[in-house]
Amino acid sequence: MLLVSLVGMMLLFFWPEDEPGSAEHLLGQTVVDLPLLDLKGEPVSYSPAEGKVTVLNLWATWCPPCREEMPSLQRLADELDSKKYQVVGIAMDHDDHLVREFLGERDVVFLNLLDATNDVINDTLLVQALPSTLILNEQGVVVDVILGGREWDSAESRSLIEKQALHNQISKRQ
């Protein structure tokens, strides 16, 4: 059983980039009306804020790279102009209490929602690797897919996000 779990985790984190489900298929797609839960476990329908570039981070409390990058995502959210940008997290966790506790311990206050059934991340978005981050333009169209953890408040990451906001170019990074 342990071996099956380890193989499953390795597949989750090291999914080949050319395989279906690598999130590349999302490029050019519009993200709207994702059925999620708020941090109190109440149903919500998420659509990105119109007119803002969105950094949409897909993560889980049990994912080490996700845990590592979360403070830098909060710093990014603090640094970006909230009139032009938003940072949103979607946690692939079943326990809203655990997610609230995790975020509270790290002083993460940007909008986070739950995909408690994993239907949105696995079945709607078909994302197979965590963390995965989608950069959405002002119209909610996926213009970049970034697989793996990042230092989101670095000059390189900020430049990437600001470039996407200016040019709405579609690209994929790994």
Domain ranges of the chain: 23-173
CATH of the domain spanning 23-173: 3.40.30.10
pLDDT value, residue 16: 39
Q: List the one residue out of 143, 118, 122 whose CA is nearest residue 56.
A: 143
Is residue 173's pLDDT more than 60?
Answer: no
Cβ-based burial of 83 (10 A; exposed 0-12, middle 13-18, buried ≥19) = exposed
Confirm if 113 and 10 have CB atoms less than 8 A apart: no
Prediction pTM value: 0.82
Kindly tell me if the per-residue pLDDT of 162 is higher than 90: no
pLDDT at 8: 41
Residue 24, pLDDT > 90, answer no
Asked whether residue 20 carries a pLDDT value surpassing 50, the answer given is no
Q: For 84-117, how does the pLDDT look when each residue is reduced to its tens digit (9 = 90+)? A: 999 999 999 999 999 999 999 999 999 999 999 9
Question: How many residues are listed for the chain in this entry?
Answer: 174
- For tokens 């049990």, the residue is 62
Q: What pLDDT, in 10s, does the model give residues 26-85?
A: 899 999 999 999 999 999 999 999 999 999 999 999 999 999 999 999 999 999 999 999
pLDDT above 90: residue 13: no
Place of tokens 């409390």: 61
Tokens describing residue 23: 């999130």
Residues with Cβ within 8 Å of 156's Cβ and at least 6 positions away in sequence, in order, are none
Is residue 45 helix, strand or coil?
A: strand
Q: Cα–Cα distance between 174 and 159 in angstroms, integer? A: 16
